[in-house]
Amino acid sequence: METRMSQEEKAKRYVIVGGVAGGATAAARLRRLDQEAQIVLFERGEHISFANCGLPYYVGDEIKESERLLLMTPELFCERFAVDVRTKSAVTHIDTAKCIVHVETAGQESYDEPYDALLLSPGAKPLRPPIPGIDSPRILALRSVPDAEALRRLTDLHAETGRAVVVGGGFIGVEMAENLRGRGLAVTLVEAAPHVLAPFDTDMAKIAEKEMNENGIGLVLGDGVKAFKETAQGVLVRLASGREVAADFVVLAIGVSPDTGFLQASGIALGERGHILVNERMETSVPDVYAVGDAVMTIERSAKKAGALPLAGSANRQGRIAADNMAGGRRVYDGFVGTSILKVFGLTAAAVGKNERTLEREGLRYGEDYRVVKLHPLAHVGYYPGAQTMTLKLLYRVRGSVGKVLGAQIVGAGGVKARIDVLSTAIAMGADVDFLTSLELSYAPPFGAAKDPVNMAGYMAENELAGLVRFLSAERLKAAREAGVRVLDVRTAIELQSAPAASDVQIPLDELRGRVGELDHAVRWAVLCKVGQRAYNAVRILMQAGYEAEVIAGGYTSLSMESFTASPEAAAPRGSEEGQADLCGKGAGQAEAAEELDLTGLSCPGPLMKLQKAMERIAPGDVLLARASDPGFYADSAAWAQSAGHKMLSRRKENGLVVVKIEKAGAEEFGTDDASEDG
Ligand code: FAD
């Protein structure tokens, strides 16, 4: 008995505040490291270890039962890890001198709990600024399972017929907009910044915005909420511009702030915005008190600058490191590079490291200090069915002939995650662009290419550093033209017809060697093709003929996005008369196809040329169905069909492919002629 007592006395007492990502990870790790310890976990809510990241998909009914979000119950956690889990128990203050936390339960009890070591993982709470009318019960945020259940009840009530406004175009806002649209609501997303998804640059965010528009989401950008007003029907959202958007309910997703109000008088050092300040061992300013997750300020890895990253991966990693250190280890958290990913309807958008905005804020100049390569590769080789395209933007720092990888953004229909993870690893290692060219990445036709998009980005940067090519970003073309740069378009006639672009001279690449003398030697040439690859070959011809020339990065595909402006108009609710009319209109797409054409994996100008040939083969009035992986085919095919006099019956995006049905011109004329002859 005596021996047992002394063992219990010696056993360490760990107290953990917050029972989800960081807290639950740390509790389980502590138990694995120390079977004797007493571990008490306090959680204010009723659930622990739930899947916050799955909440939007539960509202959208992609995840059917809320139980699937509960990765662990308190009972199972207690059984498996012998952790004393106390839910509905909020820690309201901490006495760090006496090493006790004060707890208040939902049942109004309150008591003190002592600790030898304390871990704080209280997370972050949704921002709710004092905007007039914000306290309406129809304005909801999303953090917990009960929040998701409340939002799901409202969504069920208004599914197919209602209208929702999502305020905030960050990850949660975009995911919520998609999920609400999936339930048939009319959805408008309002964002005060000029574009959605802050980790991305404008040019890349536009691709996501276009996808959202094409799927019916209205996007009101650069306009903040001034007030909410409850009406008999719902809520009226008043914007700074004077625009008003009516909704049955509103999702508030304008960001989060650390949930650290209970630490104000604790003596634990907090940052300006309430983040808990920690060192690389996840220790706070007070001995034996550790903190992790959304509530802490850590460091951005490459610049070694203070920063916060409210994402699940870092909370989990930090929880593990803190637990090791609490149990006597000496583990270090190296900081974050900021890797994120999300689904935007048929696309995946992912980013890591710095974007152009951040670099310019830090005083780095485009062209001089940092450079950008942009490409539109296929996720796997074009000849294997189902190849989908992506847009990859790589940012690198120039120091002489060395280029250090600083950031990357990828938006595409497939293969995005694998590439961003490789680039994230490269940035975490502090790699140079030539490292990307040296990477041996897995390849077989269904999965990739012998020159992986990551290798390709490296080759392009390496070529630029070696002076073999120079890239001009499409966003900077207008200014360059004003400064005297002239545009040479090396696309083919059929491409120029379907996708015209302002240029000074047009010479198809395959004729350029013979016609290079037609170009003025005294000016600088910016060369345009569909994605940049033919322009690179053209620039090599020009440079070796003594011209100054550069590639318009990403070609027409990137340039055409420049003129895209998000539409604020939301598609009607799916079950409304208008929504039904939209669906009926699409009935034209049900016409039977005389021929099906697989254009996936073809690079420009292949898809249009094959389309033209196929149309020549079929009879007037027959329908051709074509599938292409090039996202530009959506616009190109319509423009070409119109210019050739054919009728576009339907156009849609399906699993990252563009699927079009075109009726060959001439049937009606034939019919009329026949009739008149017969008559
Ligand atoms: P949390 O997981 O938020 O846990 C903190 C817990 O502490 C809460 O349950 C809270 O009730 C409790 N608590 C707070 N104060 C007290 C107190 N005083 N006493 C007792 N208990 C307290 N990240 C990604 O990487 N990818 C995603 O796709 C993604 N999607 C998300 C979607 C949504 C809707 C949300 C809300 C978040 C998403 N995140 C995502 C972010 C991710 O969930 C967080 O980064 C992660 O959960 C942070 O872990 P944490 O332990 O710091 O905080």
Residue 295 alpha carbon to ligand 1 centre in Å: 9
Local structure of 572: helix, strand or coil = coil
Q: Cα Rg for the chain, rounded, in angstroms?
A: 29
Residue 23: pLDDT band (50, 70, 90) is very high
Given a contact cutoff of 8 angstroms between Cβ atoms, the answer to whether 416 and 410 are in contact is yes
Residue 675: pLDDT band (50, 70, 90) is very low
Alpha carbon separation from 390 to 40, 325, 442, 623, 678 (Å, rounded)? 47, 42, 18, 29, 54
Higher-confidence residue of 671 and 186: namely 186
Lining residues, ligand 1, CB within 6 Å: 17-18, 20-23, 42-45, 52-53, 55-56, 90-91, 121-123, 142-143, 172, 259, 262, 293-295, 310-313, 315
Segment 61-108, tens digit of pLDDT: 999 999 999 989 999 999 999 999 999 999 999 999 999 999 999 988
Percent of the chain with pLDDT over 70: 95
649 Ramachandran zone, left/alpha/beta (phi>0; psi -120 to 50): alpha
Tell me the C-alpha distance between 371 and 432, whole Å: 13
Residue 49 alpha carbon to ligand 1 centre in Å: 9
Which atom of ligand 1 is least distant from the CA of 125?
3
Active-site residue 53, yes or no?
yes
Tell me the C-alpha distance between 388 and 561, whole Å: 18
Segment 584-602, tens digit of pLDDT: 444 555 678 889 999 988 8
| Strand 163-167 with 186-191, pairing | parallel
Please give the structure tokens belonging to residue 360: 């310019």
Which atom of ligand 1 is least distant from the CA of 292?
52
Sheet holding 370-375, edge to edge: 340-344, 347-353, 402-412, 390-399, 370-375
**To test ligand 1's pocket by mutation, which of 71, 142, 289, 311 has the most ligand atoms within 8 angstroms of CB?**
311
Which atom of ligand 1 is least distant from the CA of 45?
11
Segment 597-635, tens digit of pLDDT: 999 888 777 888 899 999 999 999 999 999 988 888 888
Residue 273 alpha carbon to ligand 1 centre in Å: 17
Looking at the predicted structure, is the pLDDT value of residue 672 above 90? no
Residue 9: pLDDT band (50, 70, 90) is low
Q: Whose CA is nearest to atom 6 of ligand 1?
A: 18
Segment 157-182, tens digit of pLDDT: 999 999 999 999 999 999 999 999 99
**Sign of the C-alpha dihedral computed for residues 169, 173, 174 and 177 taken in this order:** negative
Local structure of 673: helix, strand or coil = helix
Given a contact cutoff of 8 angstroms between Cβ atoms, the answer to whether 203 and 553 are in contact is no
Average pLDDT, the chain: 93
Tell me the C-alpha distance between 151 and 177, whole Å: 12
Instruction: Please list, in sequence order, all residues whose beta carbon lies within 8 angstroms of the beta carbon of residue 63, skipping any fewer than 6 positions away.
Output: 54, 57, 69
Instruction: Please list, in sequence order, all residues whose beta carbon lies within 8 angstroms of the beta carbon of residue 241, skipping any fewer than 6 positions away.
Output: 223
Segment 234-268, tens digit of pLDDT: 999 999 999 999 999 999 999 999 999 999 999 99
Alpha carbon separation from 570 to 154, 196, 215, 437 (Å, rounded)? 19, 16, 9, 44
Please give the structure tokens belonging to residue 650: 């339907």
Higher-confidence residue of 576 and 670: namely 576
